Amino acid sequence: MSASLLKYFRRVRLSNNIYIVAYHGVAEKRKDRFWERNFTLLSDFKEHIRLFKNYPILSTNQLLDYVLAHKAPAKPSFYITFDDGYKNNLIAAELFARGNIPWSLFLSTQSISTGAWIWPNELALLFRLTVKNAMLFRGAVYNLSSEDAKKESFNEIRRSIKQLCAPERIVLMEELKQQMGIGEIESVREAMPEFDMLSWNDVKSLAGHAEVGAHGVAHELLHSNQQAQIIQFELTQSKKDIEAHVSKTCLLYAYPNGDHCEAAVNMANAVGYQLGFTMRQSKVAPRDQQLLLPRIGAAVDIYELRARLSL
């Protein structure tokens, strides 16, 4: 590490709180910053780890003790999480094992079982690879004639789809696939291994080092527009899937996209989750509810991460 970077680290002034950081994947390089925005570059990730190691890095039991006691730590402390279950999490796992660093892994269990991508990545794939110049969505025409136009249209449609319940989302996704002219989507996935998912064998190899939590079955969002039966299924079945494969009680749930509603939180409690994680960008305060803990997105370089930690 350069002398200037060391000096920069020394200027980081963190309060005596818990900082839960949220990752998705780690990549040695990115083909496109926009489409792979949730992946942290390996070079950046190594710098993050160097920063974290200056402070206590909590295990799940330690985090749970602080949260249940509504108590802040004596020193700034970190808790590290990864969402979705990408194959490239194995890169992070190797670094964690080398440094004896605890971490947690949240799985969308359908993708782990089948190898299929989670639906937000399939949606991105349609826009990324389509050769169409325009498309019709819910009565409006969207421009796809340039890379910038694709990205703008994708962002707008993604925001709209995220508000839907699962059955409506599935129908619209099928309509989009037909319009985009991609063909057999399974064969297209093979050209983009960066989004490949872990297998259950991979998960079993990690379970001795990482705490394995749930991220739903099909990565459905648990907002107030979601159907009650979908909320129940996502929470209960993903827990059962994980416990069946790792032979350990699943205590953690990370809400996909951070979305949650009162019914989802109540169900998470009834199912037996002890900690729930949102994407509210904040450090953990003693008053925070155990099933609504904030996290700080970390798919950024060390300087941006430092700024986010200073919130």
What are the structure tokens assigned to 204, written together? 């079993």
Shared domain for 137 and 94, answered yes or no, is no
Residues ≥6 apart with Cβ < 8 Å to 269: 291
Give the span between the Cα atoms of 173 and 118, in whole angstroms: 12
Determine the longest span between alpha carbons in the chain, in angstroms: 57
Domain extent, residue 155, equals 119-189
What amino acid occupies position 72?
A
Shared domain for 144 and 71, answered yes or no, is no
Domain C-terminal end among 167, 189, 211: 189
pTM assigned to the model: 0.93
Give strand pairing partners of 252.
275
Shared domain for 63 and 136, answered yes or no, is no
Domain C-terminal end among 189, 211, 240: 189
Give the pLDDT confidence score for residue 1 in this predicted structure: 47
Give the span between the Cα atoms of 153 and 134, in whole angstroms: 10
Shared domain for 100 and 215, answered yes or no, is yes
Shared domain for 293 and 150, answered yes or no, is no
Shared domain for 112 and 234, answered yes or no, is yes
Domain C-terminal end among 162, 189, 216: 189
Looking at the chain, which runs of residues are DSSP E strands? Answer: 18-23, 25-27, 39-41, 77-84, 103-107, 134-137, 140-143, 210-214, 252-254, 275-277, 296-297
Digits of tens for pLDDT over the chain (311 positions)? 455 555 555 556 799 999 999 999 999 998 899 999 999 999 999 999 999 999 999 999 999 999 999 999 999 999 999 999 999 999 999 999 999 999 999 999 999 999 999 999 999 998 988 889 999 888 899 999 999 999 999 999 999 999 999 999 999 998 888 888 766 666 667 777 889 999 999 999 999 899 999 999 999 999 999 999 999 999 999 999 999 999 999 999 999 999 999 999 999 999 999 999 999 999 999 999 999 999 999 999 999 999 999 86
DSSP state of 196: P
Please give the order of strands across the beta sheet that includes 275-277. Answer: 275-277, 252-254, 210-214, 103-107, 77-84, 18-23, 296-297
Q: Which of 148, 134, 145, 159 is nearest to 32 (CA)?
A: 148
Give strand pairing partners of 210.
103
Give the CATH number of the domain where residue 41 resides. 3.20.20.370
Shared domain for 136 and 97, answered yes or no, is no
Shared domain for 204 and 298, answered yes or no, is yes
Q: Into how many domains does the chain fold?
A: 2
Q: What is the 3-state secondary structure (H, E, C) of 238-283?
A: HHHHHHHHHCCCCCEEECHHHCCCHHHHHHHHHHCCCEEECCCCCC
